[in-house]
A and B are shown apart, each in its own frame.
Chain A
Amino acid sequence: MSDQAPTVEPTYVISTSALAKRFKDIDAVAGVDLRVPAGGVYGFLGPNGAGKTTTIRMLLGLIRPTRGTASLFGEQVASGRAVLDRVGALVERPAFYPYLSAADNLRLFGFTRGMAESRLRTAVPEALDRVGLTETRKRKAGRFSTGMRQRLGIAAALLGNPELVILDEPANGLDPNGVVDVRNLISNLARDGITIFLSSHVLPEVEQLCDRVAILQRGRVIAEGATQEMLRQGERLYVRFETAADTERARPVLATLGDVSDVDGGILSIPKRPGEEALRPLVEAGLYPAELYVKRHTLESVFIELTGDHEPAPPVGGTA
């Protein structure tokens, strides 16, 4: 994972402008602006019902936006546009013809994609092998477990060597080994130069994989940026005192360094800064903290903090 700081005008693989979708009286997506650069893994996060899948469906031409535009590789998305042929996608629970075997489902998908029989003869076994379904290639998809269907969906998304792969909850229904396999698969794809647009609830995975993330809530992007930058912005310095009186005396001292927050257990927090910088005014005021540490934010805590669905997670990380 690396921060991307393009020095030239970046090429956006995905770009949306005020993209919106209204279902009857519900704004599922209420004006999303996205810029996904080429290469790397882009995380697309949000709580349930935030509008992630609807946005993805609009990107893929499955749903028509109520307003706004969505473009892939600089070309506006619409049914029948050739640009969609450059995209592979897994959307929600993948659906397959239950009476066809895994291999036949992929052949059917390949034919529909315009791939020649001769190419499919090698591409289908390769795709099945990539997702670990070689042994069950002849089994009918109707008899597949959720996890196996998910793997088959990923195989279908990769068929035809797309330049952009959109994965909506690829780890759904997968066992722990499957989750690791998918993570490795995504890493490998990104290494091969394929842009991955990943929507997932497995935030530790996203944190490990994604170069950039966008967080969606109630149909709007509420945060977007490089993952590391986002994590850094959330980091705070935590100061604990032995007595409540010291804590109260320390509050105005710390307030000179930034906004002070109360954390349970008589702990105060301020925006992250070097320990000595915080320690000096405290010592000058005759205050000696029992503990001083930086909370290393996780994407999960950033997500929870931003979307405000839950209380923040307890701090983790080492003392400063």
Chain B
Amino acid sequence: MSGLIRAELLRFRKRRSLQIIVIAIPLLVTFFFIVGFASIEQPPPPFDEAAVRARLLAENFGGYVPEELKPLLDESVEQERYYTEQSREQITIARSGYAFPQSVVTVFGFGTFLFFALILLTATTIGDDFGWATIRTTLLASSHRVRLLAVRLGALGAIALGLIASLLFLGVSLPATLGAVGVQFPPAAPVNVGGLAVLLAGMFETSLIVISFAAMATLLVRSGSLTLVVMLVYVVIEASILTLLLRFEAFQDDGPLRWLLDAFPVRGLSTLMEVAGRVASGVPRYEGDVIRSLGDATVPMVAMVIWGTLFAAIAFRRFARMDIAE
């Protein structure tokens, strides 16, 4: 087994495209973190009633007699106070999402990059063996197919774990680094530790499912590039099925079968990450925003375990029984 692990390490150490995919994740997340923060406008200055009153009076209220003017002006000032304070609050919340510890949750919000990277890595590492026919060479060296695939998927899982750890590190270090170069962050609310744990577990679980699915698809079509097409086709099919189901009342907002929608792989993953992310953050994004409970992540989490197991089982069975004609 250690030989197989060494072989995987050697393959990875020497394959530049794999390294680029792995390195690209923290770089992309850093880039989007900075761009995301920079794209949030500065909050408006604190509400200055006298200045607003003077401006409104100069702009809009010509021709009124004093008895009519006062209530109208008061109403307009109050309206502007409300909008200004709401805008200040929303912008402050948005900016505080980039301050530690909320920055950790924000960074994990870019998890889609990680999942795409894992699809590429899996499709590339398994698919290349068919494209180059090196699968034959590998199986001539060792005929333990199940062990070979297990080590390869294990290596991809380890890469996923490493990437999740790097995202965690970025979530902590990016605000500190930006703060050191003079960027000002508003104070951030503490994160919900339970929610963060579920978010991390959800990231890892999702990674494993993505790896299993990509491995299964690659082994079924015997090609890395076709795997990407298969995944795209699957996303379209799932979206179509969900759209169809949503036409039935039972699947709509309060319908008894609504939970079933979260049992679909892509939708389930999305719900899982959304719920865990929101609970971990604990901050409503707008007035009246309801944060769902962690219990809402149960169905997708369980469904994902089942899907992941199924995908992996198909992948192993396929690999164990397939004829190597390459």
Q: A-side interface residues toward B, CB under 8 Å?
A: 57, 60-64, 79-81, 84-85, 88-89, 91, 93-100, 104, 107-117, 156-157
Asked if B4 contacts A91 (CB within 8 A), the reply is: no
Q: How many A-B residue pairs have CB under 8 A?
A: 91
* CB of B324 within 8 Å of the partner chain: yes
Asked if A84 contacts B324 (CB within 8 A), the reply is: no
Shortest distance in angstroms between B239's beta carbon and chain A's nearest beta carbon?
A: 35
Asked if B6 contacts A96 (CB within 8 A), the reply is: no
Asked if A95 contacts B141 (CB within 8 A), the reply is: no
Asked if B3 contacts A114 (CB within 8 A), the reply is: yes
Residue of A nearest to B326 (CB): A95
Q: How large is the interface on B (under 10, 10 to 19, 20 to 34, 35 or more residues)?
A: 20 to 34
Shortest distance in angstroms between B221's beta carbon and chain A's nearest beta carbon?
A: 18
Asked if B16 contacts A97 (CB within 8 A), the reply is: no
* CB of B142 within 8 Å of the partner chain: yes
* CB of B318 within 8 Å of the partner chain: no
Q: A99-B16, A104-B10, A111-B3 are in contact. Are A85 and B324 (CB under 8 A)?
A: no
Cα distance, A99 to B140, chains bound together (Å): 20
Q: B-side interface residues toward A, CB under 8 Å?
A: 3-4, 6-7, 10-11, 14-16, 132-134, 136-148, 320-321, 323-326
Q: Which 8 A-B pairs have the closest CB atoms?
A: A95-B133, A112-B141, A111-B7, A62-B324, A84-B143, A111-B6, A111-B3, A63-B323
The interface residues of chain B lying within 8 Å CB-to-CB of A104 are 10, 14
Cα distance, A80 to B7, chains bound together (Å): 18
23 A-B contacts, Cβ less than 8 Å apart? A62-B140, A63-B324, A79-B143, A79-B145, A80-B145, A80-B147, A85-B143, A94-B137, A95-B134, A96-B134, A96-B137, A97-B11, A97-B14, A98-B132, A104-B10, A104-B14, A111-B6, A111-B10, A112-B148, A114-B3, A116-B3, A117-B6, A156-B137
Asked if B144 contacts A80 (CB within 8 A), the reply is: yes
Given contacts A61-B143, A99-B14, A156-B140, 8 further A-B contacts (CB under 8 A): A62-B324, A64-B323, A80-B144, A93-B133, A96-B134, A111-B3, A112-B141, A156-B137
| Chain A facing B: main interface SS | loop
Shortest distance in angstroms between A93's beta carbon and chain B's nearest beta carbon?
A: 8
Asked if A62 contacts B137 (CB within 8 A), the reply is: no
Asked if A100 contacts B14 (CB within 8 A), the reply is: yes
- When the two chains form the complex, which single residue of B6, B14, B140, B320 contacts A60, counting CB atoms closer than 8 Å? B140
The interface residues of chain A lying within 8 Å CB-to-CB of B141 are 109-110, 112-113, 156
Shortest distance in angstroms between B8's beta carbon and chain A's nearest beta carbon?
A: 9
The interface residues of chain B lying within 8 Å CB-to-CB of A98 are 132
Cα distance, A85 to B147, chains bound together (Å): 14
Asked if B14 contacts A111 (CB within 8 A), the reply is: no
The interface residues of chain A lying within 8 Å CB-to-CB of B146 are 80
- When the two chains form the complex, which single residue of A62, A95, A110 contacts B132, counting CB atoms closer than 8 Å? A95
The interface residues of chain B lying within 8 Å CB-to-CB of A109 are 137, 141
Residue of B nearest to A114 (CB): B3
Residue of A nearest to B323 (CB): A63
Asked if A95 contacts B323 (CB within 8 A), the reply is: no
Shortest distance in angstroms between A79's beta carbon and chain B's nearest beta carbon?
A: 5
* Residue from the set A89, A94, A111 with the largest chain B CB neighbour count within 10 Å: A111
Asked if A61 contacts B139 (CB within 8 A), the reply is: yes
Shortest distance in angstroms between A142's beta carbon and chain B's nearest beta carbon?
A: 9
Cα distance, A107 to B3, chains bound together (Å): 10
Q: A62-B323, A64-B321, A85-B142 are in contact. Are A108 and B7 (CB under 8 A)?
A: yes
The interface residues of chain B lying within 8 Å CB-to-CB of A63 are 323-325
Asked if A112 contacts B4 (CB within 8 A), the reply is: yes
Asked if A79 contacts B320 (CB within 8 A), the reply is: yes
Cα distance, A111 to B4, chains bound together (Å): 6
The interface residues of chain A lying within 8 Å CB-to-CB of B11 are 97, 100, 108
Cα distance, A111 to B2, chains bound together (Å): 8
Shortest distance in angstroms between B143's beta carbon and chain A's nearest beta carbon?
A: 4
Residue of B nearest to A94 (CB): B137
